[in-house]
Structure 1
């Protein structure tokens, strides 16, 4: 996890990994907001073309891939438990082209971003981050029971908080995300 007081000298790989991690948060937040709108629309409140849904789901996966592959946490065990559910979610989504268990695929992606939100809430004081795991878990659970507009509202809230996190992250120096490289377990 990052230590903002420690200013590490970053090489090219460090800079790229931080940029990809932050880009993943941004992409995930934007596509989560879009998916929330799709869920609210599917509840019959307004119409969204069906073809957009696949693009949005792909964007959610892309955001998770960028962030999970480049997360900066000292403990490799914690890193594994944050990133691995995202890879499972991606696998489930790819192997289920009809999206019969979409709530499960998204639930795994949401576990990864819940871990990222909690990690960021320990490092930086960003309003609302500790609520993101609840919003994402409840949103996935409500999808299981086809309570779409309720799920959409919770995912909308999570998306707003993550978009705010993204904005704050892009304003921070890159070394804040890395911390002390000598403390990482490889």
Structure 2
């Protein structure tokens, strides 16, 4: 079985940090937790932004080159919403297992025939677990590491706290 760059420990860390951020948002904005549908919409938007950075791989008519760094940043943004969903449903462990299960299905595709339209399709049209697993597999095919994903998530976290401080 292939091991993915999203380790169980990293995912738990993301969920813990996201819970702190969400609590901060709810408290400072005097708002309640969003619905799972709203989180799913936000996640889907981020997944589409990530795949847009790889247009050269699926948009046969474009001349725009792949932007690996922006892709990794957008994938990190996706993790915020996955973590929020896992926290809200109190299924962090199950969520990780579901992502890993889907990853085992798509990682072979990314290793053997990247780019492959099925993996891009699942990244934007699959379930959240299929989508994030596909984005992880694509990240790996682009050479991303666990440390790089962690750093991108931490950078995004800092950016989000900064946005809260400036009234974004």
With the length of structure 1 as denominator, give the TM-score of the two structures.
Answer: 0.31
Greater C-alpha radius of gyration: 1
With the length of structure 2 as denominator, give the TM-score of the two structures.
Answer: 0.33
Higher RCO, Cα 8 Å, sep 6+: 1
